[in-house]
Structure 1
């Protein structure tokens, strides 16, 4: 049970507790949540893919798995989730202990079924929604990226184009004679103008006869032939290329002292309406890709007025409820989130601006639709260019982002476990089930969720509630009282067009003994830290006046009081078992992370960090909570060092992986040698290799992680050294007596040592 990382590599699962107490009271005493971090379609080694329908239980809907009890003579199997006996289908009558199907092998807890499609599948569709209120160089960079995307997409993909500024322009790409567009206003005399899907379809002539169909449309298969507004790329490549090439800045330029009139909210609503008319829900992958370079200043979803005298909202304004546009805009985008989730269309946001664009308001529209977010300062930035390439990369290209669509995720637990909720890029599906817990955590009240889009790294957090064993329960088979079972069922449309069902079943043991060592044997402190971070971020978004730092401190004190070894009122005797020894340090760094601390960050940046955390796997989330620091030097091989200011020395290079940024920090001596160009001389080949090693490591990380992290190359005492110093433990500050000549951080934050000492005192209080 100690190799939690190995379990994740083989099965895609991490649990905060791998041994569970068998009563609700004992579970409450554990303080930390009982949850799972699961990657539904992770690339697993040797996963069997079978070409037949899964066998489902008539009681709970669970799928036949290795833990089922099979009576080969009677041709029946008993579901370990609900204890119901089921007959095997006729084509299973030839199985025996020597001739088992893939789903009954113990070494295959995960089985994927490729099942026949029940309805026609539309080729993937992309709607580009482009901001034209950009500076000339920014618009040129955006147009270049779109033009390159057209060469990357397959010819059978369907594409559409909407541009917006003061008005929304829907381009009719199926019209070959000349450029043709329909214009929608963002406001009228009554204020912001609403554009329901039915009104958009009627305005564009996409009525009940067909969904914007052309004359050659086959009425028996309305989703395959081309449409006027989202035709196949093979039919409209020349038209859309010309439209993109000839795009100009918005015809209504901003006046002096004013921001451009930008109706982003109306553009997204119109795009969602067009896609709803062109692509029915569940018939294929559809993505609305928003390219925006500034805040929404006009129409629904407005976040700030055009007058530059009005500053855009900050965290301080949100805390004081002084942001007049925030709540109306949030309600508007929440309505769009519900619409996109019901349509199963993803909203991707590429926010490339030095100013905020309104991501804090539209974050639910991105999250519930399973969309992606890339945030940087310019369309010329490599972060945008590399991330956008990975989204649209072909299946044969390395490091591509393998996107799948139209998924549902279901949790089926055994009787003594209930589902508290889910946190991740998903929307709830109403499903009444006795397995729904009374207390909700995250998106609760159901055991089924819809995911319009997900990739092979998308990770959801599922929270459980332990129910006390009933004394009058029926016999559940040998060993049933000592273990519980949970099954995750993911149904999705694969990127190759096939319909897939992936069933993963796991089991863990109940702990009858109330002693701490039994529970601690199954404690995964990394998974617990990530789950805690997700819960904290969720509470900060949903609960007003929630103090995350105080909440984390109280939680950590309770955890240490419960599981620490100490004598009452004697901090010197306090000790934590190795299974939990790093957890206080994780919480210390979580308190200082971008998920909790909002000082120095805009609401848009905070929304970006939290949305990313909501889908990160454990490894990436842990690096975001507690960055890794590696030292490169001429005398030693690369080795991890403490995330502390004491690790800075003049004769080595520090490599910081902080998830959203990668920092290469050259010590003063190394920086001086580089400026003197010693690495260009043949006698200093070793120094050249030293400079190249962290660069190669940064390249490898940026190729596998999405969004592509920012690369910061800096020197000791340089201006950009702050990107490293901000994440280090401030063991040496102007208030402390550090070593002469050592680096010092100018901060009032407490160090890890001071934090731990206070924790010891509070944890041992009787």
Structure 2
């Protein structure tokens, strides 16, 4: 929660500047999560449906409970009335059951389905690496998992993998836009259910991984580069009908796996340049759109709007059918991720972007999708629906994350919309333990009515999803929040600056869709100035008197680094790169999001046995230390000038310098732990003072030692940049606040 103590009225909610919001991780791994095997007891109030929870008032004598959200009185089910008492409470009424998960009996799910969509217009080495990763994934899949394969280049081929001795495929022209009916007719599909084994579509195109392992591996081995790409003129791009292939894949899963545990996995090595969804023309002389092209509407951006609309329609069909679409974009050039970002934003699919299919960023990230728990089940949730319930004094403005609106306008929906608003129910094709959604709220009451109501507000989040075990589960989280007058200090004491920074960052990224980046930066600055002017202690026109409460002391620092990050800066970044970092922010939890905003910096030296967290400042780039920078997308090990000199001299190979060898190993070991834990896997960079890749560090640290500062001999290096330092930024902030 950005504010753990809420204001009493809508007017006060506007005065606190930072939105009343929370970051909720529906499938967060909880060690002591209570798991019960029955359906939740739901409120029968009109347009309610909230679940029984520890915040409910219970009349044990009358055997009824009162819903805290709509105040309706509900009778307990017969199986509860026989045993319930003050000393014998059901699991959902226990005070420790603020989060509980129900296994719904009688619902049997389908096995997971993975439909690979592979780009064949790749260089030979790249294609071999992509095929190798798919083959390795077959061995990682749980038993019973269904797989399918679609390849594309100038044409799109849907491969039949049921017959071991004959390789057959249905071919679609890449330049043609096919309707769902046309695809279904050509593939001879019909709407079907997993309850009926031996159906043609599943038997031909989707087969159990354990049964088709040899067939699919042999098919992949025989795949070669798209023959049409081999004879293209040197000045032209190879044909890629990515849009056609994705359209065929969506239709195939619609007909066979609607509302099942399924996902499409696109492996693309270049931009779509033929057929629907094309983002660039065939001639290499025609450059793919840049941020400047999008802002000015030049001819290079003429494909963007129709391509985005096409991919948006595919995402909407995927949402309706309940599956996710992943994009693995591996190319030195842009592949059209900017237009395809709707797949991650609406279906909850993964997005990984890197330079090559041979780099560990792709290989390890692809492998992590198929990681299983100790019992051999995928660590994913499929076909999820999220619903929010609020007490009568609170309204939900909307949500920002990897989900789509279901248009359910419940009584708690606010007229003012933020992100995906106008609904209290959302859908996501896939969730994992890190998938996090930002919810934004507002007070419904005006100041006059709020003064007479001093009770707490209540929130409840319900997440229903299909577990990889084939079970339908419902996770319910309920919480209460107390109120305080804005004039009192209680609201400030309940401020969570990390959550607030992430909520503001998500809102700023959402604004980047429709507003100029400079306008978004101004909006962020205004929010910071208004917040500090509202809650800081100072005398007017006296900057030296400015004091900010400890609960807010780091918030200006977070905003400073947010302004300098790739999240809001588009200089020297392509639209695909910007879309990638935006999509990562919109799905990650608070800790990882803060690392994106303000990277973590650890210092290793002989003066300390353990790594020491230090400020993200250029003054810490000393010659006799090693720094480990975790910037989420990059993990950088930087060695100071003196350390690098010893390393080049080979001191680590001598027995008498075992302590130096241990010093070198410590950051490498910690970096491996970060790489093993994160998705997508970060790029690993090892550099030193004056090295060509030192820019990964110098671009993120605070340039306190700029070109105008004095540099002692052997001290930290100067950072040549036009950016203001954190100290200058804070000075200007204080000056604006005291004059506000």
1:697-751 Cα distance to aligned partner (Å, 9 max, x none): 1111111111011111101100000000000001122233444443011111110
Q: Give me the TM-score of the superposition, normalised by structure 2.
A: 0.96
CA 1:289–1:738 in 2, change beyond 3 Å: closer, same or farther?
same
CA 1:473–1:655 in 2, change beyond 3 Å: closer, same or farther?
closer
Is 1:425 aligned to 2:402, yes or no? yes
How many matched pairs?
A: 731
For 1:104 and 1:474, the matched residues in 2 are separated by 31
1:316-367 Cα distance to aligned partner (Å, 9 max, x none): 1111111111111111111111111111111111111111100000101222
2:277·2:311 contact (CA, 8 Å) conserved in 1? yes
For 2:552 and 2:693, the matched residues in 1 are separated by 35
Counterpart selection for 1:199 from 182, 186, 198: 182
For 2:471 and 2:119, the matched residues in 1 are separated by 35
Deviation at 1:101, TM superposition (A): 1.1
Is 1:588 aligned to 2:560, yes or no? yes
Corresponding residue number in structure 2 for 1:569: 541
Is 1:79 aligned to 2:52, yes or no? no
1:157·1:233 contact (CA, 8 Å) conserved in 2? yes
2:378·2:468 contact (CA, 8 Å) conserved in 1? no
CA 1:401–1:595 in 2, change beyond 3 Å: closer, same or farther?
farther
For 2:158 and 2:151, the matched residues in 1 are separated by 7
Deviation at 1:542, TM superposition (A): 3.1
1:138·1:378 contact (CA, 8 Å) conserved in 2? yes
Matches within 5 A, 1:742-761: 742-761=716-735
Corresponding residue number in structure 1 for 2:153: 165
Q: Which residues of structure 1 form unaligned runs of 5+?
A: 1-14, 188-192, 212-216
Is 1:403 aligned to 2:376, yes or no? no
For 1:81 and 1:366, the matched residues in 2 are separated by 32
Counterpart selection for 1:703 from 669, 676, 700: 676
For 2:228 and 2:709, the matched residues in 1 are separated by 57
1:516·1:563 contact (CA, 8 Å) conserved in 2? no
Counterpart selection for 2:270 from 294, 300, 314: 294
Over aligned residues, Cα RMSD in angstroms? 1.9
SS in 2 for 1:707: coil
CA 1:397–1:700 in 2, change beyond 3 Å: closer, same or farther?
farther
For 1:30 and 1:516, the matched residues in 2 are separated by 12
Counterpart selection for 2:685 from 701, 704, 712: 712
CA 1:117–1:202 in 2, change beyond 3 Å: closer, same or farther?
farther
For 1:464 and 1:155, the matched residues in 2 are separated by 43
For 2:14 and 2:414, the matched residues in 1 are separated by 14
Matches within 5 A, 1:471-620: 481-511=454-484, 513-543=485-515, 547-620=519-592
CA 1:401–1:724 in 2, change beyond 3 Å: closer, same or farther?
farther
Is 1:58 aligned to 2:44, yes or no? yes
CA 1:684–1:325 in 2, change beyond 3 Å: closer, same or farther?
same
CA 1:460–1:229 in 2, change beyond 3 Å: closer, same or farther?
same
Is 1:114 aligned to 2:100, yes or no? no
1:35-93 Cα distance to aligned partner (Å, 9 max, x none): 01010111112111011111111111110101111111111011111111100000001
Matches within 5 A, 1:27-426: 27-59=13-45, 60-93=48-81, 94-118=83-107, 120-187=108-175, 193-207=176-190, 219=196, 226-253=202-229, 254-280=232-258, 282=259, 284-322=260-298, 323-396=301-374, 402-426=379-403
CA 1:124–1:689 in 2, change beyond 3 Å: closer, same or farther?
same
Q: Which residues of structure 2 form unaligned runs of 5+?
A: none
1:272·1:340 contact (CA, 8 Å) conserved in 2? yes
Corresponding residue number in structure 2 for 1:214: none
1:656-692 Cα distance to aligned partner (Å, 9 max, x none): 1111111000011111111222112111111111111
Is 1:667 aligned to 2:635, yes or no? no
Is 1:25 aligned to 2:14, yes or no? no
1:229-274 Cα distance to aligned partner (Å, 9 max, x none): 1122233222211110111001112321111111111111111111
CA 1:655–1:516 in 2, change beyond 3 Å: closer, same or farther?
farther
1:122·1:224 contact (CA, 8 Å) conserved in 2? no
Deviation at 1:279, TM superposition (A): 1.1
For 1:537 and 1:471, the matched residues in 2 are separated by 35
SS in 2 for 1:571: strand
Deviation at 1:178, TM superposition (A): 1.1
For 1:549 and 1:516, the matched residues in 2 are separated by 31
Q: Give me the TM-score of the superposition, normalised by structure 1.
A: 0.93
